[in-house]
Every structure is written in structure tokens, then in C-alpha cells.
Amino acid sequence: MKILLIGGTGLVGSYLLPRLVEGGNEVYAITRNQSSVQKLTGLGAFGIPGDIRDPDSFQTKLPGKPEIIVLLAMPGVTPGKRISKKRKEELRKETNDFFRNSMNLALRFNIPVILPGGTSYHTKNNEIADETWPVLRNGITEIGADTDEMVETAIKTNNPQIIQLIFGKIYGTGGIFRFMYDMIERGRMKIIGKADNFIPNIHADDAASAIIKAIGKMPIGEKFIIADDTPATQKEFTMQMAKLMNKKPPGRIPGFIIRIVIGNDFYKVISMNCKVSNEKARRLLDWQPKYPSYIEGLEEVIAKMK
């Protein structure tokens, strides 16, 4: 299959692209970084310089007509750094452009598009969210608020044909997880407040396998939560990281201090409580995580990073 991959050099893309190539697919990988073109080509893909915010920058360079689009690229956010209102609006606009332009390309080529999402559900006590739950965005996740309406409209009209994969917090050998790893390595990581809130997790390799399943099954108009089987609190996840790294357990810091230092936009996200079910993905995609909990997943990732 000819696949247009937008974001092939990111965390999930670095796991996904080699597997797509190994599966005999023809991958057109778009990158904003000219220096990444050779790397992508070396992995067996067609590395193409371009920016999804300006589709004309790469559309004429595609070797052929793609049969599906996979959007993974998202605007860059620096972990631990306060975001101004102006920057937040810029990120919202960029996110809108990423989705809108990917969907417009899908319409232009008359092909499906796989779109990403995040588990912005709010659960209490023993509640478990599934794909029917309303998305309640807070803090930095508000930059994707407009895309929720775009997705709902596309599903209702089947125009374009979309599949949305709603990922838990993705961890792997890069991205925000690398930031956490480095903070623990330097002894600067802190447990924020009680950190007894639950956040869904997913290994980047399992996120990639879900995309491959979606490409194979092509369940148009469906949304799928992609998270592992084991609810974990922020504290449990961070403490397990420190244990596997043979580092001293991080100390605590009151939540109000974090709000002062990095602002509410990040604090609201890291303090949300969310438990989810991956039953629909298991049933309709025939997908199951290789790493059913953060315990097995962290062991594999940290062993690679040491």
C-alpha cells in the first residue's frame, strides 16, 4: 500500500515507519527537517521535504498517489516551560492546520486518513471511559478543541473518510519521556502533589501496531482508544521509572508551586484523572498491546536508553 506518513521522525513514527517498510508498503514520509530526508530514505521510505501546514510544498514531489494518509505530526511543546496565551493560540492554530490540511489532502486524493487524538476524559472513582464519553479538554489539551468538531463532522458526513486513534500518554525512547528520563537521571524529577491520579499509558511500539491494524482493517468512521490494560497513577509510573534506572525515588513538590512555575496549562493535564477501556480496539481492530502494563513497557524502554 502507498502510505503518506506525516510525522515519520517523531516518537511513534520512529517505531511505525520501519514496520511499514518491512510490511512491503511504499511509504512517503514528509519531514520539515531537510537533514532527516536522508535518514528516512535510508530506512526504506521516500523521504520528502515539506510541511503539512503548506501541502503545496510537497504534493508535487510525491512519487505516486497515496492510498491512505497517517497524521502523526503535532506542534512542538517544550515540557516544563510555561506557555503564554499568545503561544497557546499559535499552537491551537497549528493543530487546526495539521488536521484541516491532512483532511483536505484526503479529500483531494479521495482516500482515508488516520488522525491522532488524546485521552482527554475525566473519570471519577471506578469509572472507566470508552469512546462514547465526551472529550473534556483542559489546560494545554485545549489546543486541540477545534479538531474535535472537525472529526465529528467528518464522521457524520463521511467526508473525508477518517479513522481516529485516541492515544494514552505515549512513552518510548524519545519525546516527553526522554525529558522525564533526563530529569530523573539528574535527580531533578519531583512527584507533584499526591500524584494519585490515573493517566492512561501506551508504549510507542504498541501505538504503532494499532496504526498498522487500522490500516489493515480500515474501519472508516470509527474512533479507538489506544492504551494499555493497566491503570497507573502518576506516582506509580514515575517511581517505577526511578527504580528501573537505579535512581533515588523522586521527592514531592506541592501542586501550587508547580502551578506558579509552569502555569495552569500543564498542571491541569498532569493532575487530571482518567481511566479508559481499550476493549473496542481489541474487538474491532484485533489489536492487543505487546506491553499490557507500564511495568513491562518501562523495563524495555529504559533498558534501551541506559
Q: Whose grid coordinates read 519531514? A: 31
Q: Are 143 and 91 in contact (CB under 8 A)?
A: yes
In this predicted structure, what is the pLDDT of residue 267? Answer: 76
Q: Whose grid coordinates read 473519570? A: 123
In this predicted structure, what is the pLDDT of residue 25? Answer: 98
In this predicted structure, what is the pLDDT of residue 176? Answer: 86
Domains of the chain: 74-172+200-229+276-290 (3.40.50.720)
Surface-to-core class of residue 36, CB atoms within 10 Å of its CB (0-12 exposed, 13-18 middle, 19+ buried)? middle
Peptide bond into 250 cis (omega under 30): no
H or E segment at 237? helix 234-244
In this predicted structure, what is the pLDDT of residue 80? Answer: 67
d(CA 138, CA 120): 8
Q: Are 119 and 164 in contact (CB under 8 A)?
A: no
Average pLDDT, the chain: 94
In this predicted structure, what is the pLDDT of residue 242? Answer: 97
d(CA 34, CA 23): 26
**Regions of the chain with pLDDT less than 70:** 79-80
- The model's pLDDT over 223-246, given as tens digits with 9 standing for 90+, comes to 999 999 999 999 999 999 999 999
Surface-to-core class of residue 225, CB atoms within 10 Å of its CB (0-12 exposed, 13-18 middle, 19+ buried)? buried
